[in-house]
Structure 1
Amino acid sequence: MTQTVSISHLMESSGVAFGTSGARGRVVDMTDLVCFAYTCSFLQHMTQIGQFSAGVHVAIAGDLRPSTPRIIAACAAAIRAMGGICDPCGFVPSPAVAAYGFGKGIPSIMVTGSHIPADRNGIKFNRADGEVLKPDEMAMRAQEVSLPDVFDQQGMLKTPDAAEPAIDVATAYIARYTDFFGSDALSGLKLGVYEHSAVGRDILVAILEGLGAQVTRLGRSEIFVPVDTEAVRPEDQDLAHGWAAEFDLDAILSTDGDSDRPLLSDETGTWLRGDVLGILCAQALGIEAIATPVSCNTALELSGSFDEIRRTRIGSPYVIEAMNGLLDGSASACGYEANGGFILGSPIVREQRTLPALPTRDAALPMIAVLVEAKRQGAPLSTLLARLPARFTFSDRIQELPTDLSQALLAKLQAGNEDEVLARVTQMFGAIAGTATAFDTTDGLRITFDSGDIIHLRPSGNAPELRCYTEAASTERAASLNVQALEIVREATLVG
Structure 2
Amino acid sequence: MTKIKFGTDGWRAIIADEFTVENVQRVAYATALWLKDNASAPAAVVGNDCRFAGKLFSATVARVFASQGIKVFLAGNEFVSTPMVSLGTVKLETDLGIIITASHNPPSYNGFKIKANYGGPATPDIIDSVESRIPESVSLELNSLEEYQQEGLIEEVDLETLYCDHIQSSFDLEAIRGSGLKLAYDAMYGAGQNVMRRLFPEITFLHAENNPGFDGQAPEPIHKNLSELSEMIKLSGNIDSALATDGDADRIGFYNGKGEFVDSHHIILLLIQYLHKYQGLSGEVVTTFSCTGKIAALCSKYNLPHTITKIGFKYICDLMVNSGKSYLVGGEESGGIAVSGYLPERDGIWIGLTLWEYMAKTGRSLDDLIDDLYAEVGSFAVERYDLHVSEALKQQIIENCRSGKYTAFGKYGVIRTEDMDGYKFHFSDDSWVMIRPSGTEPVLRVYAEAASSDEAFSVLDATKAVLLG
Q: TM-score, length-normalised on structure 2?
A: 0.83
Distance verdict in 2 for CA 1:17–1:313, change over 3 Å: same
2:355 equivalent in structure 1: 370
Q: Which runs of 5+ in 2 are unaligned?
A: 277-281
TM-superposition CA deviations, 1:112-131 (whole Å, max 9, x none): 11112112222110122242
Q: Which runs of 5+ in 1 are unaligned?
A: 1-9, 152-156, 348-356
1:453 equivalent in structure 2: 431
**Counterpart of 1:387 in 2: which secondary structure?**
helix
TM-superposition CA deviations, 1:378-408 (whole Å, max 9, x none): 2100111122232221234357x78x65862
1:476 equivalent in structure 2: 454
Question: Are 2:90 and 1:102 aligned?
Answer: yes
Native 8 Å contact 1:342 1:365 kept in 2: no
Amino acid at match of 2:355: V
Distance 2:464 2:62 in 1: 42
2:329 equivalent in structure 1: 334
Moved more, 104-113 or 78-87: 78-87
Distance 1:461 1:168 in 2: 38
Moved more, 61-70 or 247-256: 61-70
Question: Are 2:320 and 1:290 aligned?
Answer: no
Question: Are 2:156 and 1:169 aligned?
Answer: no
Moved more, 95-104 or 305-314: 305-314
Question: How far off its partner does 1:451 sit?
Answer: 4.9
Moved more, 22-31 or 370-379: 22-31
Distance 2:392 2:5 in 1: 18
Distance 2:63 2:466 in 1: 48
Question: Are 2:300 and 1:307 aligned?
Answer: no
TM-superposition CA deviations, 1:77-111 (whole Å, max 9, x none): 43233322332214111111110011112111111
Question: Are 2:412 and 1:425 aligned?
Answer: no
1:205 equivalent in structure 2: 197
Distance verdict in 2 for CA 1:240–1:78, change over 3 Å: same
Question: How far off its partner does 1:359 sit?
Answer: 1.6
Question: Are 2:412 and 1:434 aligned?
Answer: yes
Distance verdict in 2 for CA 1:484–1:118, change over 3 Å: farther
Question: How far off its partner does 1:463 sit?
Answer: 6.5
Distance verdict in 2 for CA 1:47–1:476, change over 3 Å: farther
Distance verdict in 2 for CA 1:134–1:119, change over 3 Å: same
Paired residues for 1:120-269 under 5 Å? 120-130=109-119, 131-143=121-133, 145=135, 147-149=137-139, 167-186=157-176, 187=178, 188-209=180-201, 214-220=202-208, 222=211, 223-224=213-214, 225-229=217-221, 231-233=222-224, 236-237=226-227, 239-246=229-236, 248-269=238-259
TM-superposition CA deviations, 1:393-429 (whole Å, max 9, x none): 1234357x78x6586245423443xxxx1xx2336xx
Distance 2:54 2:269 in 1: 33
1:316 equivalent in structure 2: 313
Question: How far off its partner does 1:142 sit?
Answer: 2.9
Native 8 Å contact 2:412 2:459 kept in 1: no
Native 8 Å contact 2:192 2:349 kept in 1: no
Native 8 Å contact 1:326 1:333 kept in 2: no
Amino acid at match of 1:322: L
Question: How far off its partner does 1:251 sit?
Answer: 0.5
Distance verdict in 2 for CA 1:266–1:411, change over 3 Å: same
Question: How far off its partner does 1:160 sit?
Answer: 8.8
Query: Paired residue for 2:23, among 29, 34, 58?
Result: 34
Q: TM-score, length-normalised on structure 1?
A: 0.79
Aligned residues: 441
Moved more, 19-28 or 67-76: 67-76
Native 8 Å contact 1:392 1:472 kept in 2: yes
**Counterpart of 1:361 in 2: which secondary structure?**
coil
Distance verdict in 2 for CA 1:121–1:453, change over 3 Å: farther
Native 8 Å contact 1:245 1:268 kept in 2: no
Paired residues for 1:385-404 under 5 Å? 385-388=370-373, 389=377, 390-398=379-387
Question: Are 2:13 and 1:25 aligned?
Answer: yes
Distance 2:237 2:110 in 1: 35
Distance 2:31 2:397 in 1: 33
1:408 equivalent in structure 2: 395
Native 8 Å contact 2:331 2:338 kept in 1: yes
1:118 equivalent in structure 2: 107
Distance verdict in 2 for CA 1:208–1:245, change over 3 Å: same
Distance verdict in 2 for CA 1:46–1:161, change over 3 Å: closer
Distance 1:290 1:128 in 2: 23
Q: CA RMSD in A?
A: 3.1
Question: How far off its partner does 1:147 sit?
Answer: 4.6
**Counterpart of 1:358 in 2: which secondary structure?**
coil
Identity of aligned residues (%): 21
**Counterpart of 1:121 in 2: which secondary structure?**
strand
Distance 2:438 2:184 in 1: 31
Amino acid at match of 2:310: R
Native 8 Å contact 2:251 2:335 kept in 1: yes
Question: How far off its partner does 1:41 sit?
Answer: 2.6
Amino acid at match of 1:319: I
Distance verdict in 2 for CA 1:217–1:238, change over 3 Å: closer
Amino acid at match of 2:416: A
Query: Paired residue for 1:443, among 415, 421, 432?
Result: 421
**Counterpart of 1:19 in 2: which secondary structure?**
coil
Distance 2:61 2:393 in 1: 33
Distance verdict in 2 for CA 1:447–1:32, change over 3 Å: farther
2:263 equivalent in structure 1: 273
Distance verdict in 2 for CA 1:174–1:477, change over 3 Å: farther
Distance 1:448 1:228 in 2: 30
Question: How far off its partner does 1:315 sit?
Answer: 1.4
Native 8 Å contact 2:185 2:206 kept in 1: yes
Distance verdict in 2 for CA 1:465–1:111, change over 3 Å: farther
